[in-house]
Amino acid sequence: MGYNLPNLLQLGIKSLATLCWLIVLLGFSQRTLNFSNRFLEYVSEAVLPFYILHQTIIIILGYYIVQMDFSLIIKYIFINIFSFVLIVAIYETAVRRFGLLRVLFGMRSMQKKIY
């Protein structure tokens, strides 16, 4: 494919159109998706620990699941479901509840409630 003037103009126009669509979508999402609720607060706090745990859990589970005698799609589904459940369980039972683990996983330390 040669880069002559018509091809470069077409590429430039497509790139500009893509940029404009991205700006429109970002503006639309900023206007309509600008809210908060308890679920969003919970998952936004869990993002970093989930990110840190996911690769290790997926590698460990994948090592054992890939060796099983199932089809590729079943292995994929097992790895996804089991890793998600295990990561959420580890986060909920260990990371979220203990102050030292919260700090080690990049979360804010627990705030003491004063009644």
Q: d(Cα 72, Cα 64) in Å, to the nearest integer? A: 14
Handedness of CA 84, 87, 93, 96 (dihedral sign): negative
Q: Where are the domains of the chain?
A: 1-34, 36-115
Would you call 52 exposed, middle or buried from its count of C-beta atoms within 10 A (0-12, 13-18, 19+)?
Answer: middle
Q: What is the pLDDT along the chain (115 residues), one digit of tens a residue?
A: 567 888 899 999 999 999 999 999 999 999 998 889 999 999 988 999 999 999 999 999 999 999 999 999 999 999 999 999 999 999 999 998 888 888 888 888 877 655 5
The answer to whether 48 touches 105, Cβ cutoff 8 Å, is: yes
Full-prediction pTM beyond 0.85? no
H helices of the chain, where? Answer: 5-32, 38-66, 72-90, 99-104
